Each structure stands twice: as C-alpha cells, then as structure tokens.
Structure 1
Amino acid sequence: MHGPASPGWLLVALCAVTGVYCLLRMRSRVEEQRRAAGGEALMGFGMAAMAVPAAAFAPPAWAWPAYAVVFGAAGLRALWAARSGRRHLHHLVGTAAMVYMAVVMAHSPAHAHGHGTSGTPVVTGALLLYFTGYVLRTGARLIPVAAVAGGGPEADGRAAAGWGDRPELARACRLSMAIAMLAMLPTM
C-alpha cells in the first residue's frame, strides 16, 4: 500500500474520485442504490487513505486498528445485508480485505511490506484471485445501457433513470475499486 510515490498518488486519486462519485450516487431516489453507494463511498475513501505514499504521510500507530474497526463494522453491515441477496457478498469480501490489510499494516515492522518475505500469504493470494475474477467478470459485463433520447419519460410511462441510478456507472465504480484493490494487495 505504501509503494512508490507516483503510482501511489494515482491510486489515491482513483479511489478518492470513486468515493466522491459514490457520495453523489447517495442522492438516488432508489433506497437500495443509496445504501450501496454509502458503503462504496466508505470503501473508496478508506482505500484512498490507505494508499497515501508513506513518504508524504506516515499514519500514527492507532490509525490501522481504527481502520480495522471501521471496516469490521462495515463488514457486519454487509453480512446483515447479505441475508437479502448475494449481491451484498462482494461488499462483504471488500470490507474483509480492508480489515485484513489494516491488520497486516498494524503488525508489520515499520510498515515495510513485501520485503523479506518468502512468498504471497494465502489470504493475500485468495483475495487476489477473487478480485481478479471480479474485475474480469465485471469488465465483461460493463456494456453501456441504451440512453433514453431527450432524457424525458420513457415510452411506457416510467421516469428515466437519473445519472446516479445508472447501473453501468455503479458497475464502473465497483470495477475501479476492485482494480485499486488488485494494485494494493500485492504490496502486502
């Protein structure tokens, strides 16, 4: 997570912009969209904070346990929401990955990740496999939905979806966070 400065800042920017977009998606008229967007905004901003290069800012020792608690609580919320459908399982895996990274960062000497280890830990490898599969599957499904001409009501009387309710934009948001997770996990 605290690798070279230039890719680190690009990762911070990607995650922060994704977090801002997810906050804007919370203005949706659809309650389920608002709830999902709130969790995704938390993930985006949390990932942005974790990706800040250590040369720019070294977080205090209490920050990593705080991240673990915050994302542990978000994981419990995702676990509760998963009762209603498996679409929430991805949020559960994402929060578990954030807790895992925070715990590893809290227990690493001087936060020197990836140095002196003899290979990829099993949990990191499993998360890398999951997020790689998620990125490939979501990327393949990211086909634009036909836009409604004029932006008015559709022919069958339904209101046109607002930009915050468009499923391809929500998928792109989740895809960018999964790609960021793939960039962060190998540094563990």
Structure 2
Amino acid sequence: MHGQTLSGWLLVALCAATGAYCLLRLRGGRGEHREEAAGEALMAFGMAAMAVPAAVLAPPAWGWVLYAAVFGGAALRGLWQARAGVVHAHHVVGSLAMVYMALAMAPGGGAPGHAGHTAGYAAGGVPLLTGALLLYYAAYVLRSGVRLMPVAAGRAGTGAAAGTGGATGTGGAAGRGARPELVPACRVAMGLGMIAMLLTL
C-alpha cells in the first residue's frame, strides 16, 4: 500500500510539473503552438488529478463523469480543429484515452489501484483497447525520446542557426521563462505517465 501511494505521488508530481511547464509555453505561444500547449497542460493536470492516491483523497462517486465530460469535450474540439490542421491527432488520442480511463473508474467498471484512485471497484477496461493504447504510447515515447538525443557535431552549425527559429516555433516562449528544448522531455514524461496509468487497468 505504501509503495502504491508513493508511486501515485511521484506520478502526480511528474504530471503537475509538466503541466506547469506547458502553462509557461502557453503564455508566450501563438496560434497552433498555443493550442498545442493548452491541450498538453489540460492533459497533464488531468493526469495529475487522476493519479492522486485514494488513501489521501478519495475521489467523489461522480468524479469519473467530470473527467469523461472534460476530456470528451477536448476530444470533440480537437477533432473539429484537426479538420483545419490546427490540432495534432495525438492530442485527440490522448483525450480519448483519458475518457477511456475515466469510464474504467466508474463504479463497477474501474480497475483496482488505478493510480490509487479506483480501489474498491471491479476490474475494468477492455484488454484489446488497453493493449493498443499501451503500444501507441510506447511508440510515442520512443519517438519523442529520439528527439532528446544530441545533434551530430556535423550539424552543429545548422542547429545553432536554426536554434532561434526552433525556439519560437516550438512555443514562442523562449523569452518568457519557458525552455523550448524541454518540450520533447515533457512529452516523454507524459507518455510514460500514461503508460503507468494504463498498466493498472
């Protein structure tokens, strides 16, 4: 029980820190990058709230309805904006995954120990869907992790020349406290957090 509570708090801290960084990006971002930062902030804080150990703060019986409504709305908005290429499909998948986990939290449909928040409910989740989401996020983490690898020395000049433009394009918040080079690291952290939560279903 103690280990489960500790892991839950670690996940809360990871997601909350990621959400705080996304808010920094949101302050200085524009257009598509602002939408991207807002979607990731919502996802990060939603994951942090869902991961709070039930031994410390038991979720209300209607909590799963709130999560499903918020992220269902985010998924619909993302689908609408995706038509214009404003939102990436990954954000829609993430919102739908949060809806799926919220439904698994429903009384009679939750998974015991889901980040400490669904203890006492019957085991839930569709194994095939859970497995597909796990594979998706594993691939996403690997892909995002590759972007954390150092740039080859031969490309250093090009990277330096593009550094300013890349910082602006990533979130436009380079001068406002956000560090655009941390974006891939935050995405890896969120992907790993999602994997940890899905593994409990």
TM-score when scaled to structure 1? 0.82
The offset of 1:86, in angstroms, is 8.8
Q: Which amino acid aligns with 2:43?
A: M
Deviations 1:106-133 (A, max 9, x none): 1436762589869971111110010001
- Contact 2:104 2:125 (C-alpha < 8 Å) held by counterparts: no
Matches within 5 A, 1:111-122: 112-113=112-113, 121-122=127-128
Give secondary structure in 2 for the equivalent of 1:8: helix
The offset of 1:32, in angstroms, is 1.5
The RMSD of aligned alpha carbons is 3.0
State how far apart, in whole Å, the 2-side matches of 1:133 and 1:73 are: 26
Deviations 1:41-73 (A, max 9, x none): 100000000011111111101111110000000
**Residue 177 of structure 1 corresponds to which residue in structure 2?**
190
Give secondary structure in 1 for the equivalent of 2:61: coil
- Contact 2:110 2:123 (C-alpha < 8 Å) held by counterparts: no
Larger deviation, residues 15-24 vs 108-117: 108-117
Name structure 2 gaps, 5 residues minimum: 115-120, 152-158
| Number of aligned residue pairs | 178
The offset of 1:172, in angstroms, is 2.0
Matches within 5 A, 1:21-170: 21-85=21-85, 88-108=88-108, 112-113=112-113, 121-143=127-149, 146=159, 161=168, 162-163=173-174, 164=178, 166=180, 168-170=181-183
State how far apart, in whole Å, the 1-side matches of 2:110 and 2:131 are: 23
Q: Percent identity?
A: 57
TM-score when scaled to structure 2? 0.77
State how far apart, in whole Å, the 2-side matches of 1:116 and 1:62 are: 16
Q: Which amino acid aligns with 1:135?
A: V
TM-aligned CA distance change 1:62 to 1:117, over 3 Å: closer
TM-aligned CA distance change 1:103 to 1:53, over 3 Å: same
